Amino acid sequence: MRTQVAIVGAGPAGLLLSHLLWLDGIDSVILEARSREYVEKRVRAGVCEHPTVELLRQVGLADRLDAEGLPHHGITLRFDGEDHRIALTDLTGRSIVVYGQQEIVKDLIAARLKAGAEIHFEVSDVELHELTGDTPRVTYKDADGVVREIQADVIAGCDGFHGISRPSIPDSAMTVYDHVYPFAWLGVLVKAPPAHHELIYANHERGFALHSMRTPDVTRLYLQVDPSDSLDDWPDERIWAELHARLAISGGFALHEGPILERLLSPMRSFVAEPMRHGRLMLAGDSAHIVPPTGAKGMNLAMADVLVLSRALKALLRDNRTDLVESYSDTCLRRVWRAEHFSYFMTSMLHRAHDADPFQHRLQLSQLRYTASSTAAATSLAENYVGLPFP
């Protein structure tokens, strides 16, 4: 098989890249280890930054997002038993939209297949070859176990943190920055209407909690837990008891309970691999960087990466220019490190380490009170939260 760009991974990054390339008349083939059903049901991020929403609208992928997404014009910081609203739109003129990552994936897959794109699901044994040459190759087994090969001009590694793309780069050609946080998130998807119309970030002496939503009838809730915990440690009764305790406020808060549809445990880490390019292999999204979910940046960073990458590949494959490919990593990493810092700031301000001393907690409260009372501090948080302009 011959194509211009072989894309490994059919998540938001790989699918959007394929769509952007198609708009520029560039061929691509997508390989995905999971089934279509799996990737369309995999619940992940839900906050779309303003630049992400605008990009999806510009490239014709926002019809369902505009019809079903939930626009938010603020978020709430909950501490000291009170709510403190950060008015995102009033402070920045921009907003966010809550629309599940799996819904974006559904929209992208439908659009790519309608355009005749090649998406090969349930592939295995993927290997990348000759990455520093002009014609890199990808070998794999298809869903029937038949060995296949793709010859390409470029390979885009959009296969996430645990994918094959980043490990295909020699250790000597990459610098890795890794920070593991001393806590994890327990997330539950609940069949119940949200108890608040905006996201609530709660700092509590028992640990962090987040109240979010996916639809008007489905609530997304998170608890800070110990990284050594398992799902067996958290029966329904304990989950609801902690949520009620951590989300309580002095005036009362009626958290809506309902059947738990899904639960997962996620470690908290920051990770960056530099550079995001090795020869004709370009990394994008989680294959190159991970942020803790507190800042709601993961999927949005992937969207920014592939926008930059699509422009670079257009310059390379249509105009025979190499400058944008050569600057791709540096351009993306400036945004990545800003997002890393913002996510670290949000995580450090809101979570309680199990061994934190009273001094550290007082510093957290000081930062929260300053952010809630200072227009300048609130504007800085809001500007980063709604998303800085794409490059």
Q: Please tell me which residue in 19, 204, 211, 297 is annotated as part of the active site.
A: 297
Evaluate whether 304 touches 298 at the Cβ level (below 8 Å): no
| 201 included as an active-site residue | yes
| 344 included as an active-site residue | no
Strand ordering across the sheet containing 70-72: 47-48, 96-98, 70-72
Residues 210 and 78: their CA atoms lie apart, in Å, by: 10
Residues 336 and 298: their CA atoms lie apart, in Å, by: 10
Helix (H/G/I), strand (E/B), else coil: 38: helix
* 321: Cβ contacts below 8 Å, ≥ 6 apart: 315
| 72 included as an active-site residue | yes
| 297 included as an active-site residue | yes
| 141 included as an active-site residue | no
CA angle 311, 280, 297 (to 5 degrees): 55
* Exposed / middle / buried, residue 362 (Cβ in 10 Å: 0-12, 13-18, 19+): exposed
Q: Please tell me which residue in 51, 289, 293, 351 is annotated as part of the active site.
A: 293
Q: Please tell me which residue in 181, 201, 222, 328 is annotated as part of the active site.
A: 201
Q: Please tell me which residue in 19, 50, 51, 72 is annotated as part of the active site.
A: 72
CB atoms within 10 A of CB 279: 15
* 167: Cβ contacts below 8 Å, ≥ 6 apart: none
Which residue numbers are catalytic?
72, 201, 293, 297, 385
